[in-house]
């Protein structure tokens, strides 16, 4: 690990010292002062529609993306814009919960917004994801960190502008419901089934040559492993008057030293971390009035073992079903697909109907998979039907009508008008069939293929340039 990384990882005031423990326990609930300020700031009547908020967010992101690529401190104007946007977002999210209870809101912290939307088969009216902006300005903000956070969100500017994806500062929920997180974690850690399950899934590596342990769990989606540093007390620094001392990290591994107590402490701390991480996500969903959907197989098994497991939701079943129908679509492609409201509603209706008789998660997954297969099969028939109808109801009658109009032209304007009406009458069955086909869920499959083709052509044109 590069030494230059350490100063960024080191919290202000140093690393917290954790004494060895005999069993797992809740950790401190952490959030920044800015997140606490945003949580307790109220602006009556400032809520916007998701679409208006999305367009405003894209404008702010574009401005922040122009920050210089350096380590200088951000300007007060940029700090104000980030904080005001966070407060406005919280107000808008609250209004969605209060005024639009019929809308489906999903919360996820693991997947990119476009991947989450596609894997949940567009079952959400709004997807809530963590906002990187407020986090970027909460601890040692620089132009570079703010710029990187803005550019990361701008990858989904079309979904943001449409109000479908709404980034929420997740630390705000911990500031509001930190006590609830602490209590839920304490309750879960009292259950031997949960503790032993996580212990069986832990993968610990170390101590390393520099007295570090890396920890993760099987089948999780967290990109970077957790790190624990073994601290050695600098005995020459001990102040006997007040008991203060300093410690040293990254010391050399000693083969004759007994690390057992530290390893046990790391295991307990890791168990506490994963339980509390899940509870923080659940509380975030509760605060924002959303349904939490986990993409991590490990966390899904953990949630099933809780005293109050998550209520079943079609989106959760869709995640595990892993349907490729909408995969490989960019944020731009998904945004264009979301304009087809009627087939999306038909898709949601069919999935909910299929889940009515499911008894457990595996049956829900099977039901969603079956519906997706039926839609894919129907889309193939629909594609053939559209082509056939276009030929039989469009080209041939239109050609005949054109001949009729040519003949009728000898009768002047009345004859031409009569022939035109006849042409429209001939086209009517084709138009009616086309409109009806666009209302079916299977049309989404057809539309997704067209979007892929358009995106592929755009990419080819860019590569030629």
Does 255 reside within a domain?
yes
Lowest mean pLDDT among 16-20, 79-83, 202-206, 332-336: 16-20
Q: The tokens 């904080």 sit on which residue?
A: 83
Quote the pLDDT of residue 405.
46
Helix 442-464 and helix 341-355, axial crossing angle in degrees, nearest 10: 130
So what's the pLDDT on residue 223?
Answer: 81
**How confident is the model over 387-435, as pLDDT tens digits?**
665 555 555 455 545 544 454 545 555 555 554 555 445 544 554 455 5
| Mean pLDDT for the chain overall | 83
Q: Does the structure show a pLDDT above 80 at 73?
A: yes
Alpha carbons 279 and 321: distance in angstroms, whole number: 24
Rounded Cα gap, residues 320 and 296, in angstroms? 9
Whether residue 397 sits in one domain with residue 278: no
Residue 111 located in a structural domain: no
Q: How far is CA 248 from the centre of its chain?
A: 39
Angle between helices 341-355 and 314-321 (to 10 degrees): 90
**233 & 154 share domain:** no
CB 125 within 8 A of CB 105: yes
1 falls in which pLDDT band (50, 70, 90)? very low
Q: Is residue 436 part of a domain?
A: yes
User: Mean per-residue pLDDT for 312-334?
Assistant: 87
Angle between helices 143-154 and 50-64 (to 10 degrees): 140
How high is the pLDDT of residue 424? 47
Are 162 and 44 in a shared domain? yes
pLDDT at 18: 67
Q: How many CA atoms lie within 13 A of 226 on its CB side?
A: 17
The total domain count for the chain is 3
Asked whether the beta carbons of 170 and 283 are under 8 A apart, the reply is: no
Pairing relationship of beta strands 105-107 and 291-292 according to DSSP bridges: parallel
Do 361 and 294 form a contact (C-beta atoms < 8 A)? no
Higher local confidence (pLDDT), 365 or 379: 365
Range of the domain at 219: 3-22+178-308
The C-alpha atoms of residue 288 and residue 208 are separated, in whole angstroms, by 41
Residue 212 and residue 302 in one domain: yes
Whether 77 and 158 map to the same domain: the answer is yes
Asked if residue 335 belongs to a domain, the reply is no
pLDDT tens for each residue of 104-150: 999 999 999 999 999 999 999 999 999 988 888 887 789 999 999 99
In the beta sheet, which residues pair with residue 142?
73
pLDDT at 293 over 70: yes
Examine residue 378 and state whether it is found in any structural domain, yes or no: yes
For β-strands 126-130 and 105-107, DSSP reports them as: parallel
pLDDT score for 157: 95
This prediction has a pTM of 0.82
The verdict on residue 197 lying in a domain is yes
- The 10s digit of each residue's pLDDT in 166-178 is 999 888 888 889 8
């Amino acid at each position: 690990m590069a030494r230059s990384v350490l100063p960024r990882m080191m919290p202000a005031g140093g690393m917290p010292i954790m004494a060895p423990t005999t069993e797992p326990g809740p950790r401190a609930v952490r959030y920044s002062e800015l997140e606490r300020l945003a949580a307790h700031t109220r602006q009556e009547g400032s809520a916007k529609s998701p679409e208006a908020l999305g367009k405003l967010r894209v404008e702010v992101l574009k401005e922040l993306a122009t920050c210089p690529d350096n380590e200088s401190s951000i300007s007060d104007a940029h700090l104000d814009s980030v904080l005001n946007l966070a407060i406005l977002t919280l107000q808008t999210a609250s209004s969605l919960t209060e005024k639009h209870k019929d809308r489906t809101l999903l919360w996820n912290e693991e997947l990119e917004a476009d991947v989450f939307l596609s894997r949940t088969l567009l079952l959400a009216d709004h997807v809530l994801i963590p906002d990187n902006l407020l986090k970027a300005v909460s601890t040692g903000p620089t132009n570079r960190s703010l710029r990187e956070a803005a550019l990361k969100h701008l990858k989904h500017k079309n979904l943001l502008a449409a109000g479908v994806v709404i980034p929420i500062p997740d630390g705000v929920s911990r500031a509001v419901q930190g006590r609830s997180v602490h209590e839920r974690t304490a309750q879960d850690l009292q259950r031997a089934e949960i503790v032993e399950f996580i212990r069986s899934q832990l993968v610990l590596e170390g101590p390393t040559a520099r007295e570090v342990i890396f920890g993760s769990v099987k089948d999780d989606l967290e990109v970077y492993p957790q790190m624990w540093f073994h601290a050695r007390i600098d005995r020459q620094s001990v102040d006997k008057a007040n008991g203060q001392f300093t410690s040293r990290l990254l010391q050399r591994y000693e083969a004759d030293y007994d690390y057992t107590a530290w390893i046990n402490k790391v295991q307990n701390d890791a168990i506490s971390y994963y339980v509390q991480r899940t509870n923080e996500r659940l509380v975030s969903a509760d605060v924002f009035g959303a349904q939490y959907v986990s993409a991590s197989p490990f966390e899904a098994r953990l949630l099933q073992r809780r005293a109050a497991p998550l209520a079943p939701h079609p989106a959760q079943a869709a995640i595990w079903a892993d349907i490729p129908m909408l995969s490989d679509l960019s944020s731009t492609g998904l945004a264009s697909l979301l304009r087809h409201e009627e087939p999306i509603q038909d898709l949601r209706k069919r999935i909910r109907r299929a889940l009515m008789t499911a008894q457990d998660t595996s049956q829900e997954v099977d039901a969603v998979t079956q519906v997706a297969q039926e839609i894919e099969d129907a889309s193939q028939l629909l594609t053939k039907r559209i082509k056939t109808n276009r030929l039989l109801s469009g080209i041939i009658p239109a050609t005949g009508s054109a001949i009729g109009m040519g003949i009728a032209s000898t009768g002047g304007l009345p004859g031409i008008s009569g022939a035109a009406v006849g042409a429209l009458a001939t086209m009517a069955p084709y138009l009616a069939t086309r409109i009806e086909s666009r209302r079916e869920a299977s049309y989404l499959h057809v539309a997704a293929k067209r979007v892929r083709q358009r995106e592929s052509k755009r990419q080819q044109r860019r590569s030629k340039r």
